[in-house]
Homo-oligomer: A and B are copies of this chain.
Amino acid sequence: MSSLSAEERKNLIVRLRRIEGQIRGLQRMIDEGKYCVDILTQISASRGALKKVGLKVLDSHINGCVKNAISKENGDEEIIAELMNVIDKFTD
């Protein structure tokens, strides 16, 4: 069902593992009473990294499922409406 290739999946999982490490690092920073500005900088970095993962998934989704539905003229209206909905959420 997913349009991600094996290599893309591997690459995304590596990125997400790194983000998971950052989130654990944030817990440590808070636990150890680190300076708030350093915590906020780290949060911005993690959000940025998550955004990049999202853009990669979106790219693959458009090049896979969306393109496919349009080519086959099969459910393309629904899939584009769904795509717009997810872009809307993503730009919040």
Checking B26, B50, B62 against A16 with a beta-carbon cut-off of 8 angstroms, the contacting residue is: B26
Q: Please state the number of chain copies in the assembly.
A: 4
Q: How far is the CA of A88 from the CA of B53 in the complex (A)?
A: 12
Bitwise, A24-68 to B at CB < 8 A (1) or not (0) is 101100110111110111011011101101110111111111010
Q: How far is the CA of A1 from the CA of B55 in the complex (A)?
A: 27
- Hey, which chain B residues are within 8 Å of A76, CB to CB? 67
Q: How far is the CA of A31 from the CA of B31 in the complex (A)?
A: 31
- Hey, which chain B residues are within 8 Å of A82, CB to CB? 37
Q: Which 4 A-B pairs have CB atoms at the shortest separation, nearest pair first? A: A36-B61, A2-B33, A70-B70, A43-B54
Task: Known A-B contacts: A43-B90, A48-B92. Give 16 more (CB < 8 A).
Answer: A1-B35, A2-B33, A2-B34, A4-B33, A9-B31, A12-B30, A37-B83, A40-B90, A43-B57, A46-B50, A47-B47, A55-B91, A58-B84, A63-B80, A71-B71, A90-B91
